Amino acid sequence: MKKVYLSIFKKRSCLLLSVCPLVLILAFFNAPALSQDFATISWGTAASQPYTVSEAQGRVVNGKLYCFGGFDSQKSTFTPTKRSYVFNPVTNTWSAIADLPQTPNGANFGGVTHAGITTDGTNIYIAGGYTSNAAGTGQIFGTKQVWKYIISQNSYVKLPDLPISIAAGQLEYLNGKLHYIGGTNAARTQDLGNHYVLDLNNISLGWKTLAPLPNPRNHAGSAVYAGKIYFFGGQHGQDAKLVTQKDVHVYDPVTNTWKKLADLPVPSGATGRGHISSGVTVFNNRIIVLGGETVHETSINMVSAYYPASNSWINLTPLPANRYSGVTGAMNGNIYYTGGSFSKVTYKGVPVIQRVDSFTLINADNAKAIQTLRNGATINLATLPTRNLNIRANTTPATVGSVVFNLSGKQTKNVTESRLPYALFGDDNNGRYYAWTPAPGSYSLKATPYSAAASAGVAGRGLSISFTVTTAQGVVLSSAPSTVVAGAEADFSSSEKNIKSPVVYPNPAHGNINVKLPADYKGNFNFLLQDQTGKTYNLGVRKVQSADQRITFDISKLNLPSAVYFLQIISETRKGQIKLVIQ
């Protein structure tokens, strides 16, 4: 044992003052905003652990992360620690809890690393692992010990021993039973596929044997989802001779059988991912695997999500740094990754749902925005500065993998845009939009963002609108209150009578504007001036009593820039619009 230990110590002595990362993944349970899948995670930091910790074990219970043992960073050798802590994400604090009870132990030593850990939602169970030697100066590579941590009492109760001394296996709780799967023997010379089960409702029966794990391995990861146990990756062998694995298997307790699934994603050229014993968590309808080791002392920052429903994988935003041997969990809609790879840093990840926020109607002649295109809008070609148009989708984040457009109605178009700007009718990639002159009629438009190019990856939150295109002179719906500007009234000359539609002059204008309405325009009218971005200025309400009435507004007080505007004339029964050029 001593020779084996010293070999490991020499290879990793430069790292002894730190301890393996604790990977905490906090998922969104009961969070409506995250009921949809995400591919993007925004990473920051939260409170660091009190000490660096490696090869620890942890679980989330009732919104808090419990972290037990790991290697003792206060000692110069690979020795377990009995120190244990709980992290509260609401207060962003770590607090000490009762020391681990594994034996041997003493005043300044004890604890465990490489143990299996699970929870029944109320208490936590810890089985197997590397314990301290009797002197507190090294480790013993395997134990039979099984303990239950009672959270409400902050104390431990011993459960029946495992059949053999074992470590680096996985422990899962399912249907009132503990399942210990895989690992390595105490001599670390054999990869185990052993599968033991303990009925917590009848512990006097002790541990029984179930169907063994195909491809026996250690340092793997696992999770329970929809009544089955999923077993991810791991390794054959130890230290410099280890060979990581990418196999994924699922265990069905009803049939007591295992089934091979889609391989765990790994970096190009890698054989697998190990040291993920507590680096796996269930997150809504997916199981997420964080970090890991691909070869001895080479860790990665890969974050991968598995879909049990489709037996498929996608990669998410990677961790800010390479990490292995962490602990995962789900709390309060955020993702935490703490410690690992001889670090005490805690990363906090916020899942980002990609979405289409709005559509913009674009002038394809100059690439400028004409207006925000909202649901129910009417595009009047007669009043626009051009009929060469395009429609841009605006997303959060500003850059996504791709956007799929589906236009139906008078004209149809289905297209995928994989680079900015995300335009329905495309662009030349040099800032010039391709033009579309829509045919008058009704349209429906839907745009859906995806995390990868060519509509691959995870679909985000799409946006659907309906709009109408018309060429009618002066008819459009609009509304938006703003500042009232006073106007003036006077009589038109008799030569200006009997007009068929509203008239505004002078046009172009730069000071006062005069408005004359047809003879059948009677009653109170609200006059609004709107620019091409949709910003609206309320010119006020005027009572129109005769066709000889002239309505005058002083627009110089608005300090408007030279551009094309639209004068909207609205009453309870009429809605009219006139294009007005202001110089």
Range of the domain at 434: 355-470
Q: Is residue 476 part of a domain?
A: no
CATH code assigned at 537: 2.60.40.3080
- Give yes or no: residues 398 and 286 share one domain: no
Going across the sheet that includes 130-132, the strands are: 112-113, 130-132, 139-140
CB atoms within 10 A of CB 534: 17
Going across the sheet that includes 93-97, the strands are: 57-61, 64-68, 84-88, 93-97
Cβ atoms 441, 409 nearer than 8 A:
yes
CATH code assigned at 443: 2.60.40.10
Question: Cβ-count burial of 279 within 10 angstroms (0-12 exposed, 13-18 middle, 19+ buried)?
Answer: buried
Quote the CA–CA distance of 287 and 289 in Å, as a whole number. 7
- Give yes or no: residues 445 and 327 share one domain: no
Quote the CA–CA distance of 391 and 370 in Å, as a whole number. 10
pLDDT at 503: 87
pLDDT at 19: 34
What is the 3-state secondary structure of 249-317? Answer: EEEECCCCEEEECCCCCCCCCCCCCECCCECEEEECCEEEEECCEEECCEEECCEEEEECCCCEEEEEC
- Give yes or no: residues 256 and 371 share one domain: no
pLDDT at 502: 85
Q: Is residue 480 part of a domain?
A: no
pLDDT at 531: 82
Tokens 């399912």 found at: 174
Strands 286-290 and 303-307: antiparallel
pLDDT at 297: 93
pTM over 0.85: no
Quote the CA–CA distance of 400 and 386 in Å, as a whole number. 30
pLDDT at 89: 96
**Final residue of a domain: which of 352, 386, 404?**
352
DSSP 164-183: S-EES-EEEEETTEEEEE--
pLDDT at 490: 33
Strand, helix or coil at 382?
Answer: helix
pLDDT at 255: 98
DSSP 90: T
- Give yes or no: residues 285 and 425 share one domain: no
Q: Is residue 78 part of a domain?
A: yes
- Give yes or no: residues 312 and 374 share one domain: no
- Give yes or no: residues 275 and 226 share one domain: yes
Can you read off the two tokens belonging to residue 303? 């974050």
pLDDT at 3: 33
Q: Is residue 481 part of a domain?
A: no
Residue 172 Cα distances to 231, 288, 374, angstroms = 10, 16, 51
- Give yes or no: residues 193 and 317 share one domain: yes
pLDDT at 480: 31
Strand, helix or coil at 125?
Answer: strand
- Give yes or no: residues 369 and 509 share one domain: no
pLDDT at 473: 53
Q: Is residue 109 part of a domain?
A: yes
Strand, helix or coil at 12?
Answer: helix
Tens digit of each residue's pLDDT, the chain (583 residues): 333 333 333 333 333 333 333 333 333 333 333 456 899 999 999 999 999 988 999 999 999 999 999 999 999 889 999 999 999 999 999 999 999 999 999 999 999 999 999 999 999 999 999 999 999 999 999 999 999 999 999 999 999 999 999 999 999 999 999 999 999 999 999 999 999 999 999 999 999 999 999 999 999 999 999 999 999 999 999 999 999 999 999 999 999 999 999 999 999 999 999 999 999 999 899 999 999 999 999 999 999 999 999 999 999 999 999 999 988 888 888 888 888 888 999 999 899 889 999 999 999 999 999 999 999 999 999 888 899 999 999 999 999 999 999 999 999 999 999 999 999 999 998 889 999 999 999 999 999 999 999 999 899 999 999 999 998 753 333 333 322 233 333 333 434 556 778 888 898 888 889 888 888 888 888 888 888 777 778 888 888 887 667 889 988 888 888 888 889 888 877 777 888 888 7
Q: Is residue 163 part of a domain?
A: yes
- Give yes or no: residues 373 and 301 share one domain: no
CATH code assigned at 162: 2.120.10.80
- Give yes or no: residues 256 and 229 share one domain: yes
Q: Is residue 477 part of a domain?
A: no
- Give yes or no: residues 515 and 466 share one domain: no
Quote the CA–CA distance of 149 and 351 in Å, as a whole number. 31
Overall domain count for the chain: 3
**Final residue of a domain: which of 423, 445, 470?**
470
- Give yes or no: residues 361 and 348 share one domain: no
C-alpha neighbours within 13 Å on the C-beta side of residue 135: 6
Q: Is residue 342 part of a domain?
A: yes
pLDDT at 187: 97
**Final residue of a domain: which of 470, 499, 528?**
470
